[in-house]
Amino acid sequence: MGVLTGRTALVTGASRGIGRGIAERLGRDGARVAVHYGRNEAAAKETVAAIERAGGSAFRLGVELGVPGDARALWEEFDRHADGLDILVNNAAIGNTRPIRELEEREYDKAFAVNVKAPFFILKHGMTRLRDGGRVVNISSGLARTAVMPDNMAYAMTKGALDVFSRDLSKVLGSRGITVNSVAPGIIDTDNTAALLHGSPDGWAKAAAISALGGVGEPAEVADVVAFLVSDGGRWVTGSWVDVTGGSLT
Ligand code: NDP
């Protein structure tokens, strides 16, 4: 029996990268996991299969975020598989935006629609499904608190907005014993960072040099922190911003 046995978790963007790492970890801890994806159904199937191979239980939900009605569509699909949930991880995001000189208005709007508006409305329409004593984790970024990559400014701005959402939502849901936290990764090896890490011969070394620990993170390193926050041990942590950057902000 795992520490999350009997709980249901929804992880957005769980087909790949950090979301997949979180989904697999929560599955190993005993939760039944809703594996959300946008377009990559094959990758979502792989996540579900990996959870089941490890002895866990999971199902997949394909809903594009950042379009009108996205949150309602997500919950309609979710309701076909489960009756309420205990853990919600807002992880899906557009990970890069172009420099301010080049960024078009529609790209800016899309980043905010996927990274900020979608989590907001997923909560607005999901609060009644979230059981008392539940957990919400919003995946932020170290870039919300450092100007080390100003060319990715609009993306960083979305994460700043998401952090305000975590902070204020913790007050709204606190009376029900529901905690809400932001978890902020540094550079993690995923599809999203492939160009940064592998696009030039010194990409990996330059990225590693940013962290105090001298490395690049793996999805499991973020998943372990999320696993703590959603466990019983995390019950007195809310409205918090948890730095999982390997010391990249020091
Ligand atoms: P990836 O690009 O590897 O994966 C993104 C995931 O989000 C995929 O599952 C994708 O689904 C889903 N997704 C993206 N856009 C949409 C959309 N419009 N509708 C539905 N689903 C969507 O990202 P990472 O794993 O790198 O990042 C995960 C989170 O961590 C993000 O919030 C990111 O901002 C944050 N983060 C990442 C860092 C890093 O270094 N990697 C650093 C700091 C924060 P599909 O497979 O179907 O496309």
DSSP string, 14-63: -SSHHHHHHHHHHHHTT-EEEEEESS-HHHHHHHHHHHHHTT-EEEEEE-
Nearest residue (CA) to ligand 1, atom 27: 18
Establish whether 159 is a catalytic residue. Answer: yes
Give the model's pLDDT for residue 1: 85
CA 7 to chain centre: 18
Query: Cβ < 6 Å from ligand 1: which residues?
Result: 13, 15-19, 37-40, 43, 64-66, 91-95, 114, 139, 141, 185, 187-188, 190-193
Does 248 fall in a domain? no
Give the model's pLDDT for residue 12: 99
Helical pair 70-79 and 118-126, crossing angle rounded to 10 deg = 40
| pLDDT in 10s for each residue of the chain, 250 residues | 899 999 999 999 999 999 999 999 999 999 999 999 999 999 999 999 999 999 999 999 999 999 999 999 999 999 999 999 999 999 999 999 999 999 999 999 999 999 999 999 999 999 999 999 999 999 999 999 999 999 999 999 999 999 999 999 999 999 999 999 999 999 999 999 999 999 999 999 999 999 999 999 999 999 999 999 999 999 999 999 999 999 999 8
Query: For the domain that residue 60 is a member of, what is the CATH number?
Result: 3.40.50.720
User: How many domains does the chain contain in total?
Assistant: 1
ipTM score of complex: 0.99
Does 1 fall in a domain? no
Does 165 fall in a domain? yes
* Separation CA 86–CA 43 (nearest Å): 24
* Separation CA 222–CA 21 (nearest Å): 8
Q: Hey, how many other C-beta atoms are within 10 angstroms of the C-beta on 59? A: 16
- Expressed in angstroms and rounded, the spacing between residue 238 Cα and the centre of ligand 1 is 23
- Expressed in angstroms and rounded, the spacing between residue 93 Cα and the centre of ligand 1 is 5
Structural domain harbouring 20:
8-190+219-242
Does 205 fall in a domain? no
Q: What is the DSSP letter of 113?
A: I
Does 41 fall in a domain? yes
Point out the ligand 1 atom lying closest to the alpha carbon of residue 17: 25
Point out the ligand 1 atom lying closest to the alpha carbon of residue 142: 43
* Separation CA 58–CA 81 (nearest Å): 10
For a mutational test of ligand 1's pocket, the pick from 11, 15, 18, i.e. the residue with the most ligand atoms closer than 8 A to its C-beta, is 18
- Expressed in angstroms and rounded, the spacing between residue 233 Cα and the centre of ligand 1 is 27
- Expressed in angstroms and rounded, the spacing between residue 34 Cα and the centre of ligand 1 is 16
Does 250 fall in a domain? no
Q: What is the DSSP letter of 114?
A: I
Does 71 fall in a domain? yes
Point out the ligand 1 atom lying closest to the alpha carbon of residue 185: 43
Does 144 fall in a domain? yes
Q: Which residue in the list 37, 117, 155, 248 is annotated as catalytic?
A: 155
Give the model's pLDDT for residue 84: 98
Establish whether 155 is a catalytic residue. Answer: yes
Q: Which residue in the list 15, 37, 117, 140 is annotated as catalytic?
A: 140
Contacts of 26 (CB under 8 A, 6+ apart): 4, 9, 11, 33, 87, 89, 223, 226, 227, 230
Q: How many CA atoms lie within 13 A of 57 on its CB side?
A: 13
